[in-house]
Amino acid sequence: RTDAFPVKGHSVQSTLTSIPDRQKIIKKAIVERMKIKYAISWFPETGIKKQISFFILRDKAAFMLDTSGEGLYKRGYRKGTNEAPLRETLASAMAAISRPRYDVLFWDPLCGSGTIPIEAALRLSHTAPGLFRTFSSEQYRQITSSLWKQAREEARDLITHEPFEIYGSDIDPNVLDFANQNARNAGMSKWIHFFKMDVRDITTRGKRGTIVTNPPYGERLLDVPAARALLQDMGKAFSTLQNWQIYIISSDEEFEKYYGKKADKARKLYNGMIRCQFFQYYKNPKQGKIVNKM
């Protein structure tokens, strides 16, 4: 009865468009119900915060208790980032689509603060993504600290120790400092090798591998002409990687033109509010269709 219960929410394709009005109505309904439950008329809201959320879609409403606090995409390991960090959940999805394997080198040659390599390592090691963060419901009286401890111990027991190899490289040594620190925070530093390298200088190093990367779109890093020039250079450099699988996310609608090759498959993904395509090259490069060589 003393807990705080703020209300927030969203409305999509609904005649109920005023979010502040919806918040007030829902808050009032909760208060009226609690008055009956506790036989009191005033709730100080000085205790634990229990966030109430609602989502209205086509005039149908769903109500939820937010037990997480900060968004689940915030894993807890990323303390330092570059100017245009990729959300952890998107990086994890990209890694999953590429199907990382223990016996195949995984490489992000434009790694920035290391999010894609770290998420791939978490996936390969079966490390729970929320293991390094706290949740707002840890403050709830209904869930004891011993239960949280037990859940974390169970998650740690699932971690595998089968060896794998991941590279993360970038031309900027400053972001590599962030990447190394983030990998240490995630407990993945022993599996990921970060180093300074220009993506244009990439070589196979005699290995079989998979590239998953997020080059600048011309939105926050570089301008559009510079970003497209980089795509051209990447296309030339990656063409030497025979039998490698390559996965690149980009918001550039003319990506294939500048990269120089049509993708075997493209999936629509969103990087925050930026609509992107995840271009996948997983067939033998010699069999691919060349698009407008430049």
**In this predicted model, which residue has the larger pLDDT, 22 or 194?**
194
**Confidence grade of residue 70 (pLDDT, cut at 50, 70, 90):** confident
Higher pLDDT, 76 or 188: 188
For the stretch 84-100, pLDDT in tens is: 678 999 999 999 999 99
C-alpha closest to that of 50 among 29, 72, 30, 73: 30
Indicate whether this model's pTM tops 0.75.
yes
Judged by DSSP in three states, 26 sits in: helix
Interval 109-121: pLDDT, tens: 999 999 999 999 9
Greater pLDDT, 39 or 205:
39
Q: How far apart are the first and last CA of the chain?
A: 68
pLDDT of residue 69: 87
Residue that is written with structure tokens 């005649």 in the block: 15
Q: What is the mean pLDDT of the chain?
A: 89
CATH architecture observed for domain 88-287: 3-Layer(aba) Sandwich (3.40)
* Percent of all residues in the chain with a pLDDT value above 90, rounded to a whole number: 69
Structure tokens given for 246: 């390559």
Per-domain residue ranges of the chain: 7-66, 88-287
Q: Give the single-character DSSP code of 142.
A: T
pLDDT of residue 293: 37
Report residue 111 as tokens.
């790694």
Residues 6+ apart with CB under 8 A from 190: none
